[in-house]
Amino acid sequence: MNVNRAFKEALPNAVLVADPFHLIKIANTRLDETRRRVQQSILGHRGRGGDPLYRIRRLLNMAKEKLSEGANDKLTRFLEAGDPDNEVATAWRAKESLRELYAYRDPNLARDHLDALISDFTDNQRPPEVQLLGRTLKSWHDEILAWHRSFVCILAEMCHPFSLKCATRSR
């Protein structure tokens, strides 16, 4: 049985929500898959200590704003050295773009950003792992946007504890 269907049957009024942690984890997984595929394709073996892409594997999973200037320089240098077709860089930018989605507090702006991401990621010029991420986002579209709607609802409750906005919002 489909998990979504099981939840809908057991909890018909519940709203499924895709939280940022799990989506970014998926994006990091697709990024790592891209890195490993490119590494294997170029060098013919799994990552080793001196290989450029292997040396930046942890930096790739970090949030861009958490990278020091030196770490950002290292990331740039090693991507240039080990990623000739920019596939890993594209997957990294896709992950960072997905992270930006969760900065939006307006559900309408989030929807527009999500739709743009899906369109961009599913383009056949993107690496296959990024295309797969795009298809995942498309299949979880409503659940991703539910996070933004629930976030706005939580803020409304915090600001107006006696408000019935959440209870009466469209279902």
Rounded distance, CA 68 to CA 63, Å? 11
Return the structure tokens found at 14.
Answer: 């519940």
Rounded distance, CA 55 to CA 24, Å? 21
How large is the average pLDDT for residues 109-133? 98
Residues 6+ apart with CB under 8 A from 33: 129
Rounded distance, CA 28 to CA 88, Å? 11
At 153, is the pLDDT very low, low, confident or very high (cuts 50, 70, 90)? low
The pLDDT, as a whole number, for residue 164 is 42
As a dihedral over the C-alpha atoms of residue 83, residue 91, residue 133, residue 99, rounded to 10 degrees, the angle is: 160
Supply the range of the domain harboring residue 27. 3-168
DSSP H stretches of helix in 83-140: 87-101, 107-121, 128-139
Return the structure tokens found at 110.
Answer: 């989030």
Residue bearing tokens 């933004």: 148
Looking at the 3D structure of the chain, how many domains does it have? Answer: 1
At 43, is the pLDDT very low, low, confident or very high (cuts 50, 70, 90)? confident
Rounded distance, CA 32 to CA 48, Å? 15
Residue 166 has pLDDT above 50, yes or no: no
pTM: 0.84
Rounded distance, CA 162 to CA 111, Å? 28
